[in-house]
Amino acid sequence: MGHAAPLLRLARSGAVALAALMLPVEAGAQALVNAGEIALNVRNGSVKAVDVVEAALDRTREIAGLNAFITLDAVGAGKAAAAIDAAAGAAGPLAGVPFVVKDNIASAGLPTTAGTPALRNYVPAVDAPVLAALRKAGAVLIGKTNMHELAFGITSNNAEFGAVGNAVDPARFAGGSSGGTAAAIAAGVVPFGLGTDTGGSVRIPAALNGIVGFRPTTGRYSGEMIVPISTTRDTAGPMARTVGEVVLIDAILAGEGGEVPLDLSAVRLGLAHPQADNLSAGVKISLDDAIARLKAAGATIVDVDMSKTLADGGAAGFPIALFEARRDLGAYLAANTDLALEDLAAKIASPDVSNIFAGGVLGVGVSEAEYEEALAVRETMIADYAALFQSNALDAIIFPTTPLEAQPIEGSDKTVMLNGEAVPTFPTFIRNTDAGSVIGAPGLSLPMAPTAEGLPTGLEIDGLPGADAALLSLGLAVESVLGD
């Protein structure tokens, strides 16, 4: 069974009218998912950017129950679209394409709340560079998306702005912390958006909503004017329905591009353990199907042991994040607001985030010595990861993005059930993605076949730091195998 069918059924009602504007009728709902086609049709005058943007805004009203947005900017989006239409053929590579960004990415003239009460009235004077680059390319921002408070979680169950519903099953969580961006894309509002990823916050919601999510090598994109957790670990990341669109966005944000699909018969992939172990029954079936498809396409797949790297990631990851959150978030607030870190922490609404701040970011926190030790462990991780690739002659490693599918919003904040055992929600869902974030490696989550219940699952492909172009080329090839 192909992965796209339930998502396209969900999106079809909001996409058909837009499809008729841009492409032949037989293209159907696929028209909405292709940012390149939208831009092409806007540039050649066969469709108006104002009509594309209006259709996206109409769709936000149809999916309002998902609670994907914190702020919509219908007026600003309409003005931007009109300006694109006036520019006609001179418009950029994303001319008239509506998009969204996570609400921790600064936007000039619009609130940037980071999903937390203390920043409700924080309105930056400038765009974050990643947002500015997309606007310069002609894309039209329609709104800021809901998220796990301050990006410190993986459900997007936000106590201040409400929980984000999964686009396939709104009673289940969207994943986080970039849940609103993922839900908006998967529900057919926009073809792409930006999230941020510190431990899996782009890839996890992408997997749980059945879209593509890309965490680039840390530092590939500017992190300026993004409400931070950790400069060592944070990055913005594009999310879309297809790898091709991620390639397009990456080229704009990184200033390079032109990736083409690799020949899978020449590719050697490491199936990472324990990431590929102790999976839900549904994710296990999807993973087995993906492996069979890759092997049938000629890829060589070998088992590799990542247990030491994962253990080191567990030891180093949180000390780095907690120490740098105190330093980096405090510095951001001092530079851009009149708030101290303690002021922000006092108003945190979500109990899980409040506890992290009370016990780890503030309070006893992480000492300088513990932080330096964690950085040393990180260097060992980087060396071990490179050695794994070299000794096994790998092009990439693969594993399921999450060990289980999206879980019900109600009752899942603390624990979820995995193979008959109650396990803690946060460490379970970041189990597979976190180590790559610690070492700054690029990771790409692609949809696998859904579970028998129709719930999305994700396959992650991770490469060596700096090898983003090669990873995206591989992703294009893998997508062609895993898709319908």
Question: Residue ranges of the domains in the chain?
Answer: 5-310+371-482
Say whether pLDDT at 309 is over 60.
yes
Q: Return d(Cα 443, Cα 464) in angstroms, integer.
A: 9
pLDDT in tens, 96-148: 999 999 999 999 999 999 999 999 999 999 999 999 999 999 999 999 999 99
Tell me: pLDDT of 3 over 70: no
Residue 230: predicted pLDDT: 98
Is it true that the peptide bond before 265 is cis, omega within 30 degrees of 0?
no
pLDDT mean across residues, the chain: 92
63 Cβ neighbours under 8 A, 6+ residues apart: 14, 167, 183, 184, 187, 188, 189
Q: Is the pLDDT of residue 316 over 50?
A: yes
For residue 69 the two structure tokens come to 């947005």
pTM, rounded to two decimals: 0.93
**Residue 20 burial (CB < 10 Å; 0-12/13-18/19+)?**
middle
Per-residue pLDDT at 6 exceeds 60? no
- Residue 484's pLDDT band, with cuts at 50, 70 and 90, is low
pLDDT recorded at residue 363: 86
Mean pLDDT for the stretch of residues 276-292: 98
> Does residue 290 register a pLDDT over 90?
yes
- The angle at the Cα of 92, spanning 86 to 93, to the nearest 5 degrees, equals 135
Q: Which of 82-86, 255-259, 479-483 has the lowest mean pLDDT?
A: 255-259
Q: Is the dihedral of CA 258, 259, 261, 265 positive or negative?
A: positive
Whole-angstrom distance, CA of residue 293 vs CA of residue 137: 36
| Residues 108, 149 contacting (CB under 8 angstroms) | no
For the annotated catalytic residues, the residue numbers are 102, 177, 201
Judged against a pLDDT cut of 80, whether residue 20 lies above it is answered with no
- How far does the chain reach from its first CA to its final CA, in angstroms? 8
Question: Residue 30: what pLDDT?
Answer: 32
Given a contact cutoff of 8 angstroms between Cβ atoms, the answer to whether 114 and 158 are in contact is no
Banded pLDDT at 91 (limits 50, 70, 90)? confident
Given a contact cutoff of 8 angstroms between Cβ atoms, the answer to whether 132 and 109 are in contact is: no
How many CA atoms within 13 Å lie on the side-chain side of 340? 4
Residue linked to tokens 């104002």: 50
Domain at 5-310+371-482: CATH code: 3.90.1300.10
Q: How are the residues of the chain apportioned to helix, strand and coil, as percentages rounded to the nearest 5?
A: 45, 15, 40
Q: Is the pLDDT of residue 288 over 80?
A: yes
* From 9-23, 191-205, 458-472, the region with the lowest mean pLDDT: 9-23
Whole-number pLDDT of residue 17: 32
Q: Which two tokens stand for residue 405?
A: 């599918």
pLDDT for 396-454, tens place per residue? 999 999 999 999 999 999 999 999 999 999 999 999 999 999 999 999 999 999 999 99
79, pLDDT greater than 80 = yes
Q: Do residues 317 and 199 lie in contact, with contact meaning Cβ atoms separated by under 8 Å? A: yes
Asked if the model's pLDDT at residue 2 lies above 50, the reply is no
DSSP annotation string for 299-314 = -EEEEEE-HHHHHHHH
What would the pLDDT profile of 250-280 be if each residue is shown by its tens digit? Answer: 999 999 887 889 999 999 999 999 999 999 9
Q: Which two tokens stand for residue 73?
A: 């900017």
